[in-house]
Chains A and B, each alone.
Chain A
Amino acid sequence: MTDIFKGSKAPNATPEEREFELRAHLGSIWTGGRLFIGMYTFMLASIAFAYFYLRSSNNAQLWRPNHITAPTYYGFFIYGFMVLTAILAIYGQWRLRKGEVADWQVAGWTGVASGLIALFLQIWEFTRVPFYPGSSGYASTFIGYAVMNIGTIVVGTYWLETTLARGLRMRKELGDGAEISSSPAAQSFRANVASMTYNWGFIALGATLFLVLFYLM
């Protein structure tokens, strides 16, 4: 979410001012992460509203003719890889807190790979849907959700990847163990990891809801 924190850019900042700005910076990452969830929630709520609105309207009896369903296997695989990414992010953060930086990196890069697979499958699923996008209310909302999900996976995986890349950069600049040191940069990094992980947890929660709506109901 942010750069490597290098302290106040103001000339002649006192140590206390630097400390104050560091706390504000850490708080911003925390608040920003939560506010991002708020934005994402309203985005998801829009598609959920569309789903239930069109379902209850059932205009021209075309909400879901013949109970058409998007490819279930694809749905489960996409969901599985998204949840796997979330679990790996959470696991990585837990190991990072224990000081196991290598575990965090392995879990993180595996999570990036998992996210990219989910992204590929979500795009590929478009070629396998057994309905025309405008053939029904269900078909339309599914396409809308799939497009939104592509955006979600891209943003989530980008955040995870750039956090990992930032860790590597920090290690290069500050030396081994930089991620778990008490330096301001490390504190900022860990706050970013926590925020990113929290968001991935929420993404997994949202994916669960829409798995039920589009594939199981």
Chain B
Amino acid sequence: MTISAERPTEVATSVAPPARVSTPWTQRPGWMSQHLGTAIVGGFLGYILGHWFGNYISSSYPYIVNSGQNSIAVTLALTGMVVGWLLGIGALNYPLAKLIGKDAPAESEVKGWSKYFRYSTDHKVVGMQYVVGVLLFMFTGGLLAMAIRTELLNPTTHVFGPGTYIEIVSEHGTIMMMMATSIIVGPLGNYLVPLMIGSRRMAFPRIEAFSFWIFIAGYMVIFSALPYGGFSTGWTGYAPLQTQNGPGMISYLLGFAVIGMGMMAAGFNIAVSIINYRAPGMTWSRVPIFVWSILATASLLTLATPVLFAGGLFGILDKTVQTAFYVDEHGGSSYLWQNLFWFFGHPEVYIMALPGFGIVAEILPVFTRKPLFAYKVAASGMIGVALLSFFVWQHHLFQSGINPDMRPLFMLTTELISIPTGFIFLVGMGTLYRAKIRFEIPMLFAMALFFNFLIGGVTGVFLSDVPVNVTVHGGFFVLSHFHYTIMGGLLFAFMAGLYFWLPKMTGRMMNKKLGLIHFWMMFVFFNLTFFPMFIIGLLGQPRRVFTYASNLQGLNDFSSISAFLLGLSFLVFAFNLVWSMWISPEKAPANPWDSLGLEWQTASPVPAHNFDRIPVIMTDPYHYSEPGAPALADFGGASSGAATSDSHSAKNEGADND
């Protein structure tokens, strides 16, 4: 019997009176409890303690005395910082209490903005925390990008030395790539997935909160590389340079391992939630396409990241207990790192791309007022991309560490993956075909993704071919290609998602004029920054080098100036955010885009438990402009914000937009 059929039996008396429980001091509202401040103190104390202990146990080791660098102390200091941070924020309260049979502490409902500085198990709070977290990542990574482009303004007059330059490049790449893995899954995945599947909660809320707070700890660990002298390997961390680098390399390896734990936790929780917490009636063919993309991504996060974690662990062991995993002269192999790194690294590309595809596929029907074209093809394309992504990593080794006879196989698998990717593209084009498009800001960003990703994708097919790959490897052509896929794809999708869902998440509309300025600046200057880099690359400029041939200065200057203006576009976005949220807030309608998505059918702001009644899903959410289409869901007569305040609620609006 369905929940809907059972609803008449609801009786208020079925609710047991809340048990009277005392709230421990760690959970109480106010500043005399656990929050960001205690996490910082904990992290600081953990760092000091770890450093002292590392020195205590290892300062007399001959290799440490001879090298003058105590990598054990650095490793334990950073590990202590992470543990102290987690203890300070309260992430370890329950896992430790469980050991002595204690129950989970009662969660007090913290009101106001201070809840965003605490270890919250509310997926909506975690989602908003992630929004701020990834914007912080993006801001710092972006500043480093500006530094790179400043250095490349002139081939002979230098702002930084070659060593500092490569450290900036490495830090920029690492920050951006690690941030990018969570940029959509973290903020939008955590906030929206339960709403989209009709759930009141995530499966493992503590694991969800843990994923965020350890993500921030990982960010600090990676940034600690700078005071340690940085690392000169680029974001890929190749050995033997990895082995030769100083303590900054430990920050890189440990940072990857720590963020890897966060990625595994996030993917694990989201995958389990989607599989088990879908509302009654939400069969797999009714799952929103964004949720499909997040499920595919979560699977990759869960299964590919352990390999990165293991690779980082081996590197740390090389640095601390002097194993020789990546040291050829001692029976190890520098290529081992490349294999482990790229076994994670290539699925990571799809960890970044798939949620972007999910966002645009979710947005297109709303602004075209058409059903999503070939929904099942889109879903199967996403799963196909996720599966195939495990079989392509060796194309990163075409120039190193691969038997030349194996190249055609990985060339083929790499080319194959363009087929399911093409499915997703075709789904987008099919939805746009003969549509009356509403060019709202989220739609502009979504359409820009197709333009950018087309360039990134087609150059990717070139790069999958061994002869081209061998020719342009290690140059600006590759750099431009992956910026087109990651920034041109993922970041534009993220912006589309933010403009689309922020009204739901915050109850406030983003300013449209500022949004348009942001979009056009970002789109134009993104292309003006990175398209010339294809030419620069074909003319032979290598990556990660602080100087270049003087005849390339014109193109580099053009690219740098465009990059500064691209950076300015993000300041416009930041200003828009501050303006629209705090300075001149405009209340968002319950369903400003007339979306049929389930997330728009609950009240705004979203209540603590998302839905008054768990909805029973009747159909998929893409029946735009279909007269007589069934209602999306039965909310059991519950008054759910949009359902009562907006005409485009659970009921399909039929052809009203045609």
Contact = CB atoms under 8 A, between A and B. Distances in A.
Given A14-B9, A165-B99, A135 B330 contact: yes
A137 interface: yes
A39 B323 contact: no
B200 A21 contact: yes
B618 interface: no
B405 interface: no
Contact of B322 (A63, A132, A141): A132
B32 interface: no
Contacts of B10: 12, 14
Interface stretch (B309-317, B446-454, B485-493, B539-547): B309-317
Dominant secondary structure at the B interface: helix
B309 A43 contact: yes
Contact of B9 (A16, A32, A50, A143): A16
A217 interface: no
Interface string B300-321: 0011101101110110011001
A123 B391 CA distance: 36
B7 interface: yes
Contacts of A46: 306-307, 310-311, 340
B104 interface: yes
Dominant secondary structure at the A interface: helix
A212 interface: no
Given A14-B6, A35-B268, A133-B322, A24 B317 contact: no
B307 A62 contact: no
Interface in A140-184: 140-141, 143-144, 147-148, 158, 161-162, 165-166, 168-169
B99 A147 contact: no
A84 B505 CA distance: 51
A118 interface: no
Interface in A21-66: 21, 24-25, 27-28, 31-32, 35-36, 38-40, 42-43, 45-47, 49-50, 53-54, 57-60, 62-64
B280 interface: yes
Contacts of A88: none
Give the interface residue-count category, chain A: 35 or more
Nearest to A138: B331
A144 B317 contact: yes
Contact of A139 (B3, B323, B612): B323
A10 B609 contact: yes
Contacts of B303: 38-39, 42
A27 B204 CA distance: 12
A24 B276 contact: yes
B550 interface: no
B311 to A, nearest CB: 7
Given A42-B307, A60-B328, A35 B101 contact: no
- The 10 A-B residue pairs with the shortest CB-CB distance, nearest first, are A62-B331, A46-B310, A137-B331, A165-B101, A10-B609, A134-B324, A140-B323, A27-B276, A28-B203, A42-B306
Given A14-B7, A161-B99, 4 more contacts: A2-B204, A14-B9, A133-B321, A137-B330
Interface of B: 1, 3, 6-7, 9-10, 12, 14-15, 94, 98-104, 199-201, 203-204, 264, 268, 271-273, 275-277, 280, 302-304, 306-307, 309-311, 313-314, 317-318, 321-325, 327-333, 335-336, 339-340, 609, 612-614
